[in-house]
Amino acid sequence: MQSEVYLGAQDGEVDADKVSAETPDAVVFNGIANQYDHHPLPAKVSERVRIWVLDSGPSRSSSFHVVGGQFDTVYHEGGYLLKDGRDAFGGRDGGAQALGLQAAQGGFVELTFPEPGHYPFVSHVMADAERGAHGRFAVTR
């Protein structure tokens, strides 16, 4: 889940001015900025990985991207845009780089990693990646 954090005063309410200006203090995956840099998500070479993504907002969009990965399946808001490399029009051998979501939208992507290593993932809205919406997969044999 990707969400924005708008900090107000200690033990206070959300800073409504920051919400209005869309200037979050952090943009996070599953509630904590940068957590998957420190605790990478595990995967194995050639193992199919499904990543569910919900942009819970409240306002900013997301473009979920795995650096060095290629999605062969993209499911967005109740329908497949790409399934096992086939697009919605029957084309074959397709791939995608990102899952674009507006606030309150969700979906999933699937991919396999070709070799061991660390594969970063980000919200490709790079200002939000710098605010904490990034992490990595640790891929082993």
Averaged over 31-52, what is the pLDDT?
97
Averaged over 64-77, what is the pLDDT?
97
Identify whether the C-beta of residue 65 lies closer than 8 Å to the C-beta of residue 98.
Answer: yes
The pLDDT of residue 104:
97
The pLDDT of residue 49:
98
Q: How confident is the model at residue 139 (pLDDT cuts 50, 70, 90)?
A: very high
> What is the spatial distance between Cα 99 and Cα 52, in angstroms, rounded to a whole number?
10
Q: How confident is the model at residue 19 (pLDDT cuts 50, 70, 90)?
A: very high
The pLDDT of residue 96:
96
> What is the spatial distance between Cα 32 and Cα 76, in angstroms, rounded to a whole number?
24
Contacts of 42 (CB under 8 A, 6+ apart): 137, 138, 139, 140
Tokens of 126: 């790079």
CB neighbours of residue 89 within 10 Å: 6
The pLDDT of residue 89:
83
List, in sequence order, every residue forming a beta bridge with 62; answer none if it has no partner.
101
**CATH of region 2-140, choose from 2.60.40.420, 1.10.1040.10, 3.30.365.10, 3.30.450.30:** 2.60.40.420
**pLDDT 10s digits, 82-125:** 999 998 888 888 899 999 999 999 999 999 999 999 999 999 99
pTM of this prediction?
A: 0.92
Tokens of 51: 């990543």
**Residue 74: strand, helix, or coil:** strand
Confidence check: pLDDT of 138 > 90: yes
List, in sequence order, every residue forming a beta bridge with 71; answer none if it has no partner.
96
Domain boundaries, the chain: 2-140
Identify whether the C-beta of residue 128 lies closer than 8 Å to the C-beta of residue 62.
Answer: yes
